[in-house]
Structure 1
Amino acid sequence: MDLQLSGRVAIVTGASKGIGLAVAQTLAEEGAHVVAVSRTPTGELPGKAVHVPADLMDPQAPARVVARAVEEFGGVDVLVNNAGGPPPGVTLPRFGFMTPDDGDWQAMFEFNLFAVVRMIRAAVPVMVERGGGSIVNVSSTSARQPAAMNVDYGAAKSALNHVGKAVSEEFGAQGVRVNTISPGPVLTDWWTKDGGAADVIGGMAGAAKQDVIDQVAPGMMNLVTGRLVRPQEIADAVALLASPRSGSTTGADFVIDGGFLKEL
């Protein structure tokens, strides 16, 4: 299938690893000009991608990223708001409502909501000027499944879902589509890094890291597929939503979670 992305300009945040890296690679393979945003570069980025170093918790960074995309390629057609999760220096999972303090809540919302709001605010006028575009926000099933774990993270992602729907309503008539992807547990370094989620859960369950990844976590979350989601599975969905082939899809939320969510 030709996704008609050749020559289009795509900004991907959090592009140095995990889902963001898979998205950047996939869009580049489809012929898009990729502006890859992360605090640090990685040698795994596609050779033709332009890396823009940015800390999106800096309120001025999103405008600079969009300006760089315009400078390099003349505009923005696709914005993938993938950066999110634990703010820099924070380890999740975090258990209990009483655990995060005001500073934790503020950092979580700054990274997972306000940074995205600023990226959208910077990109939409450029998209409208070009006749439209596609925004894909990477949220989480935690936004739809409240629990006594990562409460601040889930709340921030719930707010992100609201923002995406609202922006899709306001700017849809001007050609800007906004959709959300809600991954379940994805096999990234959020799980695998030293001191990451697999180590935290393993310490509580008395299990080795690999056993947590292969068995404990899928069982704990009752994943129908029996495994964590692969980053490429998210990237493929992002590419389709970014494509003009999804021209009538806006305001939607696509769940890719291995069967974690059970409700209708």
Structure 2
Amino acid sequence: MELELSGKKAVVTGAGQGIGLAVVRALAEAGADVYGGARTVGPELREATKYTMEVDLATPDGPGRLVEAAREELGGVDVLVNNVGGGVSWAASFLDIDDDVWRRSFELNLFSTVRASRAALPGMVERGGGTIVNIGSANGRLADPQLAHYAAAKAALANLGKALSVEFSPKGVRVNTISPGPVRTRIWTKPQLAKQAGMTPEEFVRSVPGKVGLTTGALVEPEEIAALVVLLASGRIPSVTGADLSIDAGLLKIV
């Protein structure tokens, strides 16, 4: 399948590991020139692309600096993947989530996307079009008081994607959101979680699908998210815009 990405200029936030790194690799394999931004640029990201930048994307100027650097080095931006996110720290209850936690969650999960998109959109419109893909979360559709800060930020992100699509699709920029369920990243693979559960890391990862009710019986792989990003970024499905697509291994039974 011709994906029409050869020579396209792409920016990926949170590119250092997990989903972001998989997206960088997939876009590069499809022929795009990819600029990866991350707080720490390690050897895996440097191997995936020669265009990288160490940047704190939770700061007011971080996303804009990344987009501007990509524009200067690559000559423009055709694809923006707003992947950076996090702050998945469980609280005992809603009453234990203080203002600092709320602020950090929204800075990272929502405002980073607001700022990167605001920086990239004028150039995309000037170039005649482009694509923005936001990486949300199935938590945006789940009621979980222990993760209220994170879930609310991801719900807002999905709404933002629809709003941007309404305004910018007529100008040639498609905007979509991907909302993954539990993905095989360090959130689930870090040894501390396994130790707390009295398991080896491998045993803990195998136990997660049953614990959270994944009908496929397995965590989502980062490469699956990356494959969907590439398809959305390509010219193969030009009618898909304003969508919030779940890839959640059957987590969401009723929405």
TM bracket, shorter-chain basis: over 0.9
Q: CA offsets, 1:60-106, max 9 Å, x none?
A: 112211111111111100000000012xxxx6233421221111111
Tell me the CA shift for residue 211 of structure 1: 2.3
Aligned to 1:40, what secondary structure does the other structure show?
Answer: coil
Aligned to 1:52, what secondary structure does the other structure show?
Answer: strand
Q: In proportion to residue count, which structure has more helix?
A: 2
Alpha carbons 1:9, 1:33 under 8 Å: kept: yes
Gaps of 5+ in 2: none
Matched, 1:65 2:62: no
Residue equivalent to 1:153: 150
Alpha carbons 1:95, 1:150 under 8 Å: kept: no
Gaps of 5+ in 1: none
Superposition RMSD on alpha carbons, in Å?
Answer: 1.4
Q: CA offsets, 1:202-229, max 9 Å, x none?
A: 62x54443322102x2112110111111
Q: CA offsets, 1:198-253, max 9 Å, x none?
A: 34xx62x54443322102x2112110111111100000000000111121110001
Opposite residue 20 of structure 1, the aligned amino acid is G
CA distance in 2: counterparts of 1:97 and 1:52, whole angstroms: 36
Q: Which residue among 190, 206, 213 is the counterpart of 1:214?
A: 206
Q: How many residues align?
A: 254
Q: Which runs of 4+ in 1 moved over 2 A?
A: 45-49, 91-95, 205-212
Change (3 A) 1:241 1:49: farther
Matched, 1:250 2:241: yes
Residue equivalent to 1:181: 178
Matched, 1:124 2:115: no
Change (3 A) 1:133 1:226: same
- TM-score calculated relative to the size of structure 2: 0.95
CA distance in 1: counterparts of 2:78 and 2:99, whole angstroms: 37
- TM-score calculated relative to the size of structure 1: 0.92
Aligned runs of 1:27-106 on 2, under 5 Å? 27-45=27-45, 46-86=47-87, 92-106=89-103
Opposite residue 158 of structure 2, the aligned amino acid is N
Q: Which deviates the most, 47-56 or 68-77?
A: 47-56
Matched, 1:142 2:139: yes
Alpha carbons 1:92, 1:150 under 8 Å: kept: yes
Change (3 A) 1:67 1:116: same
Percent identity, please: 51
Opposite residue 260 of structure 1, the aligned amino acid is L
Alpha carbons 1:76, 1:123 under 8 Å: kept: yes
Matched, 1:108 2:108: no
Opposite residue 19 of structure 2, the aligned amino acid is I
